[in-house]
């Protein structure tokens, strides 16, 4: 197993500094009073491309050789990794091909194309994105940029945890818990490494949709557990069937726990994010906040940070959330 270290994350932070936005920790006194604890929101929805995924993609693509940049990159994604790879490729002057599900939110498909990437659509229920992408990479020689199971990706995403720890320290805050939305686990695994180094008393939680809590169940079982096929959730960014081969051992080593909640609670969290923090969140990006607001993650008497991972939401879904 390729290991990722804290020094890999600090090196990634220096590499990413010219490209990324340092996103804020937001707080609502009114919401804190209601919850009986202190809730901080790490607003990665304000990151370039509207998601933390830009961090890992940029860290990987910035380390390509000149020949690799000429050949280009290939990625598969439901949308946020797609946009991150597309923009990172554009900034590093390398062509990108992205395999995306045909039912991905239109805003994610359109944004990916707007950065200059070639988009190949597939049916997520009958086709394998990995097989399609691997075949394209074999034919073109493109470098595969995985969404999570890659040391460079994990290190790049781990800069979120690095920022959380440093920002909390600057505010004189000791964090009891950090909760992070999870699909494959790159962000949570990288952040676990950073938090263990800089905020060792902080517990890490991964937040998933009901029925798609493969990571939580895998952590409890100590081995990979898969979701049953055919399930659906509005959290399109969090539907990976099982955690990554690299990411799950990291989360196990750092003692991460799992929480999950319903789509209805996610819609309510999206509404709360807009009303209390003036943030536009997509369903998957609101999952950690939803777990905190619904009580799945205990806040009373504690200081908790949740990561709002993405804000790329179609208008009709956002309107549904606001009408809750």
Nearest partner of 314 among 150, 67, 79, judged by Cα: 79
Whose CA is closest to 186, among 8, 29, 63? Answer: 8
The third-level CATH classification (topology) of the domain covering 54-147 is Rossmann fold (3.40.50)
Percent of the chain residues past pLDDT 70, beyond the cut: 99
Which residue spans of the chain are classified as CATH 3.40.50.1100?
6-51+152-322, 54-147
pTM: 0.95
Residue 205 has pLDDT above 70, yes or no: yes
The tally of CA atoms less than 13 A away on the side-chain side of residue 178 is 36
Query: Residue 2's pLDDT is what?
Result: 57
268-323 residue pLDDT tens: 999 999 999 999 999 999 999 999 999 999 999 999 999 999 999 999 999 999 99
Q: Quick check: 214 and 240 in contact, CB under 8 A?
A: yes
Q: What percent of the chain has pLDDT over 90?
A: 93
CATH number for the domain running over 6-51+152-322: 3.40.50.1100
- CA end-to-end distance (rounded Å), the chain: 45
The C-alpha atoms of residue 94 and residue 81 are separated, in whole angstroms, by 16
């Amino acid at each position: 197993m390729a290991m990722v270290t804290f020094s890999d994350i600090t090196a990634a932070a220096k590499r990413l500094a010219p490209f990324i936005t340092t996103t804020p920790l937001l707080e609502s006194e009114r919401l804190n009073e209601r919850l009986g604890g202190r809730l901080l929101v790490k607003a990665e929805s304000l990151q370039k491309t509207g998601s933390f995924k830009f961090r890992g993609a940029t860290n990987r693509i910035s380390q390509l050789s000149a020949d690799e940049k000429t050949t280009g990159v290939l990625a598969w994604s439901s949308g946020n990794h797609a946009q991150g790879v597309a923009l990172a490729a554009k900034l590093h002057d390398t062509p990108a091909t992205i395999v995306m599900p045909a039912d991905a939110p239109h805003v994610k498909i359109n944004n990916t194309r707007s950065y200059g990437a070639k988009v190949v659509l597939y049916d997520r229920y009958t086709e394998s994105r990995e097989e399609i992408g691997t075949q394209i990479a074999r034919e073109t020689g493109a470098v595969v940029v995985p969404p999570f199971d890659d040391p460079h990706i994990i290190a790049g995403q781990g800069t979120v945890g690095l920022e959380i720890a440093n920002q909390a320290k600057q505010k004189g805050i000791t964090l009891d818990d950090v909760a992070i939305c999870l699909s494959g686990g790159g962000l949570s695994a990288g952040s676990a490494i950073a938090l263990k180094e800089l905020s060792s008393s902080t517990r890490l939680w991964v937040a998933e949709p009901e029925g798609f809590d493969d990571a939580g169940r895998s952590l409890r079982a100590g081995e990979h557990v898969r979701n049953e096929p055919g399930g659906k959730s509005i959290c399109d960014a969090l539907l990976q069937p099982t955690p990554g081969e690299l990411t799950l051992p990291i989360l196990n080593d750092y003692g991460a726990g799992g929480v999950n909640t319903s789509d209805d609670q996610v819609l309510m969290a999206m509404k709360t994010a807009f009303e209390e923090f003036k943030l536009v969140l997509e369903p998957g990006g609101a999952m950690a906040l939803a777990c905190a607001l619904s009580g799945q993650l205990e806040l009373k008497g504690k200081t908790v940070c949740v990561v709002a991972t993405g804000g790329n939401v179609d208008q009709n879904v956002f309107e549904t959330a606001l009408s809750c």
